[in-house]
């Protein structure tokens, strides 16, 4: 077993000198916290697809972020940024959503195929720059294949007829030479079908995707998702679902779908759910420019309040799942949380002019780890999740501009957590005192330690967030009925809660790995303040 002293010594080294001095005083006391991993209570397999991504023709996401062009001096593979491809392979990116977002419901897929020099220039939904269409379906699917991931395409329900959706499916999936559209694909160099399985039927159809009522959208969904050409693919249709606590959307949509007969439910693979966090407490509003919290300028109270807002994801999942069960008793339809993450006001862009770009800090890494840990608790409910958005945008894993590229603290979390993909999620109980703080004269609190555990053969992965901005937390780790053969820790933390990576300082926040030596019967571990920790434990 892992000896307590060794854990303390090793953790202190991994987390830095500051922690070493703090842990020295704690080592004498019994830990006030306990993590119990219940090996015999599996919750289900963690779908690799909950580690999915989202990319939209918006700001610097596609152009400059993913696409640099074939003639670029920036290292690229067929026009796609090479650094990005390399890192996304490393994190085992399973699925990427495209082309939006709100952009999807104004996009004509035909504009983005055919010879590049013949593609039209169009006004972009976001209005910041014109859309050159140099990156379209072929380039996106090629990008997906390069990184070893599956494409997830969102259809235009607001401004194109259903026939255009069928044609897009045909363009992607019809066998070589079978149709005019598959020949068009072949002419671009892609004779083999793209085998696109995941299709979003619109996006935010209650808002930018058509301003429909739930009932109106259900009628559209039926029309779009019925008798779609399949070409032997097991197509998975994802309906545009609710945002936040909009139970009425979930109920109204499913009620209308089910009204046509029980068989209708089985035509839906997933219900999309969007949940952004805006750091809204303390009198803030969702105002585009000034209302929300700031990505870089925040205090400890903002830190806890953002996490508190993010923790709500758990009840949102529970709530919609319960409503879905009213119409879908067997829970055939799963949740697809295809947009999530913090969304701050403008001002922290690394590339001025990139709309919706923000600089993720250690706070966003802790937030993202917490969110992924929440997803692990619901393997039977969540089929897919897509962090918004991959690069040069909201909760991005990467920032890039011309030849500059860096991995954000969020990117590091995806790397650390990739070990959970496809593993068996285990019920894990965290018993720890809450953190108490003063929210502008009002007493407030937040949990002291949380995380998740998963098992694959003899490999147990425990990921833990310590949200405390200044105090380490020592916890005893109980794994009943198993002995630990070897253990390694990876810690992402920093003394400064605002720490972030940028082009000038790419490595300010980076994970530190440490092999842990083993002895004794009661392993304990000291989790560094404001940190994300992965313990990789090999069971005997």
Query: Which residues belong to the active site?
Result: 204, 339
Any contact of residue 339 with ligand AHR (CB under 6 A)? yes
CA distances from 85 to 50, 94, 189 (A): 19, 13, 20
Q: What is the DSSP letter of 518?
A: -
Any contact of residue 56 with ligand AHR (CB under 6 A)? yes
C-beta of 234: minimal distance to ligand AHR in Å? 26
CB-based closest residue to ligand AHR: 101
Among 105, 131, 204, 305, binds ligand AHR (CB under 6 A): 204
Strands 524-527 and 473-479: antiparallel
C-alpha 249/C-alpha 257 separation (Å) is 12
Among 14, 61, 91, 102, binds ligand AHR (CB under 6 A): 102
C-beta of 319: minimal distance to ligand AHR in Å? 20
C-beta of 272: minimal distance to ligand AHR in Å? 9
C-beta of 391: minimal distance to ligand AHR in Å? 12
Q: Which is nearer to ligand AHR, 102 or 235 (CB)?
A: 102
CA distances from 363 to 49, 129, 245, 246, 306 (A): 24, 31, 24, 27, 9
Q: Which is nearer to ligand AHR, 408 or 533 (CB)?
A: 408
Among 55, 76, 138, 203, binds ligand AHR (CB under 6 A): 203
Any contact of residue 448 with ligand AHR (CB under 6 A)? no
Q: Where does this chain touch ligand AHR (CB under 6 A) — which range of 63-71, 94-102, 379-387, 475-483?
A: 94-102
What are the b/e assignments for 128-156, b being 16+ CB within 10 Å? eeebbbbbbbbbbbbbbebbebbbbbbbb
Binding mask 399-438 for ligand AHR (x = CB under 6 A): ----------------------------------------
Q: Which is nearer to ligand AHR, 119 or 274 (CB)?
A: 274
Any contact of residue 305 with ligand AHR (CB under 6 A)? no
CA distances from 517 to 228, 361, 489, 511 (A): 57, 31, 11, 19
C-alpha 174/C-alpha 166 separation (Å) is 11
Contacts of 177 (CB under 8 A, 6+ apart): 183, 186
Any contact of residue 101 with ligand AHR (CB under 6 A)? yes
List strand residue ranges (DSSP E) for 108-190, in order. Answer: 122-123, 130-131, 150-155
Any contact of residue 65 with ligand AHR (CB under 6 A)? no
Q: Where does this chain touch ligand AHR (CB under 6 A) — which range of 7-15, 73-81, 302-310, 386-394?
A: 386-394
Any contact of residue 61 with ligand AHR (CB under 6 A)? no
C-beta of 102: minimal distance to ligand AHR in Å? 4
Q: Which is nearer to ligand AHR, 138 or 203 (CB)?
A: 203
Q: At what angle do helices 247-259 and 214-225 cross, to 10 degrees?
A: 50
Q: According to the 3-state scheme, what is the secondary structure of 431-483?
A: ECCCEEEEECCEEEEECCCEEEEEEECCEEEEEEEECCCCCCEEEEEEECCCC
Q: What is the DSSP letter of 275?
A: E
Any contact of residue 388 with ligand AHR (CB under 6 A)? yes
C-beta of 467: minimal distance to ligand AHR in Å? 25
Q: According to the 3-state scheme, what is the secondary structure of 330-353?
A: CCCCEEEEEEEEECCCCCCCCCCC
C-beta of 374: minimal distance to ligand AHR in Å? 20
Any contact of residue 100 with ligand AHR (CB under 6 A)? yes
Distance of CA 262 to the CA centre of its chain: 32
Query: Can you give the binding site for ligand AHR, defined by CB under 6 A?
Result: 56, 100-102, 203-204, 339, 388-389, 394
């Amino acid at each position: 077993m892992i000896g307590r002293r060794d854990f303390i010594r090793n953790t202190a080294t991994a987390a830095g000198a500051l922690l070493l001095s703090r842990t020295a005083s704690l080592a004498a006391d019994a830990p006030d916290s306990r993590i119990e991993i219940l090996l015999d209570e599996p919750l289900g397999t963690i779908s690799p697809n909950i580690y999915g991504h989202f990319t939209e023709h918006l700001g610097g996401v596609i152009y400059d972020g993913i696409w640099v062009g074939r003639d670029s001096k920036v290292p690229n593979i067929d026009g796609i940024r090479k650094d990005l491809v390399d890192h996304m392979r490393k994190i085992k990116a399973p699925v990427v959503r495209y082309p939006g977002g709100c952009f999807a419901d104004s996009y004509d897929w035909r504009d983005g195929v055919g010879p590049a020099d013949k593609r039209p220039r169009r006004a972009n939904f976001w209005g910041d720059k014109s859309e050159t269409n140099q990156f379209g379906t072929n380039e996106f699917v090629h990008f997906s294949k390069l990184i070893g991931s599956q494409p997830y395409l969102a259809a235009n329900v607001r401004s194109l007829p259903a026939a255009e959706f069928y044609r897009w499916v045909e363009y992607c999936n019809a066998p070589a030479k079978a149709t005019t559209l598959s020949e068009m694909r072949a002419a671009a160099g892609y004779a083999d079908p793209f085998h696109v399985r995941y299709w979003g039927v619109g996006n935010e159809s209650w808002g930018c995707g058509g301003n429909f009522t739930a009932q109106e959208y259900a009628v559209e969904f039926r029309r779009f998702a019925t008798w779609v050409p399949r070409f032997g693919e097991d197509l998975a249709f994802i309906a545009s679902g609710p945002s936040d606590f909009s139970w009425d959307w979930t109920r109204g949509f499913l009620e209308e779908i089910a009204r046509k007969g029980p068989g209708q439910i089985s035509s839906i693979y997933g219900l999309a759910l969007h949940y952004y966090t805006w750091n809204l407490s303390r009198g803030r509003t969702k105002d585009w420019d000034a209302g929300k919290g700031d990505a870089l300028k925040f205090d400890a109270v903002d830190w806890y309040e953002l996490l508190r807002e993010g923790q709500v994801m758990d009840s949102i999942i529970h709530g919609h799942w319960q409503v879905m069960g009213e119409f879908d008793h067997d829970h055939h339809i799963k949740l697809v949380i295809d947009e999530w993450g913090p969304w701050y006001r403008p001002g922290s862009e690394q590339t001025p002019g990139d709309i919706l770009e923000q600089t993720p800090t250690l706070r966003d890494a802790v937030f993202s780890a917490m969110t992924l840990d929440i997803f692990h608790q619901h393997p039977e409910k969540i089929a897919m999740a897509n962090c918004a958005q991959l690069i040069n945008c909201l909760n991005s894993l990467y920032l890039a501009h011309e030849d500059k590229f860096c991995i954000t603290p969020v990117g590091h979390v995806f790397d650390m957590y990739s070990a959970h993909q496809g593993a068996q999620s285990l019920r894990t109980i965290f018993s720890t005192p809450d953190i108490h703080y003063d929210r502008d004269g009002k007493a407030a609190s937040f949990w002291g330690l949380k995380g998740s555990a998963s098992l694959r053969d003899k490999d147990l992965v425990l990921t833990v967030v310590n949200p405390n901005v200044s105090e380490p937390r020592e916890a005893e780790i109980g794994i009943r009925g198993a002995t630990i053969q070897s253990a390694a820790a990876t810690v992402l933390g920093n003394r400064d809660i605002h720490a972030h990576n940028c082009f000038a300082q790419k490595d300010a926040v980076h994970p530190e790995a440490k092999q842990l030596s083993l002895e004794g019967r009661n392993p304990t571990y000291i989790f560094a303040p404001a940190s994300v920790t992965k313990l990789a434990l090999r069971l005997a």
